[in-house]
Amino acid sequence: MCDIIWCKKDFEGKPCNTINYLDPYCFWNWEGTINCAECGAVYYIHMIQGKMYRGPEDRPGQKPDTSPLYADKPLDGYRFYGAGIEGRTRPFECLPRHIYLGVPDMVKFSIRGRPVRGHRPQPPSAGIAGSYGFDWDIEKLSPDLYEEYQQKIKNGEVSEW
């Protein structure tokens, strides 16, 4: 849950009507100025424990301390300003590292070398969402996985629980 600043300043002859979202992680105990993502109006706010203690108060002519994480215009066809737009929103610092961006690995075996039931692709006989309950005959349902498992047992790669 986050707090918002709904900017109603006149911008280009009509109300700005931009909702600026203040995420609680960065604004939990915070005092300073923040800009509107659309019109650039500067507001002073003071938040204590995630609640708006004072503000938003208009501060024309001041330089903002920070920007909102994102903003949108719900009354204007939902124009959206995502994180990291220069001069409008601040960058989102919690993006995953480059090694986590890509295709997820398919896991066939657990850390102890036992086959897992949730691997893909599941055979057509798996039923709805590949659920076998407690009765899972690996030799009949996934012969290739069974052969790979037998090789792991021979090589000593399977450990006890």
Q: What DSSP line would sit under 26-44, residue for residue?
A: HHTTEEEEEE-TTT--EEE
Divide the 161 residues of the chain into consecutive groups of 10 and give the mean pLDDT of each group. 87 91 86 93 92 90 91 84 86 67 71 75 57 62 82 86 63
Question: What pLDDT shows up at residue 143?
Answer: 80
What is the spatial distance between Cα 10 and Cα 56, in angstroms, rounded to a whole number? 16
Instruction: Report pLDDT for 57.
Output: 92
* SS3 state at 99: helix
Rg (CA), the chain: 27
Give the pLDDT score at 121.
58
* pLDDT confidence of residue 5: 92
Report the amino acid identity of residue 94. Answer: C
Residue 141: per-residue pLDDT: 66
Residue 59's pLDDT is 92
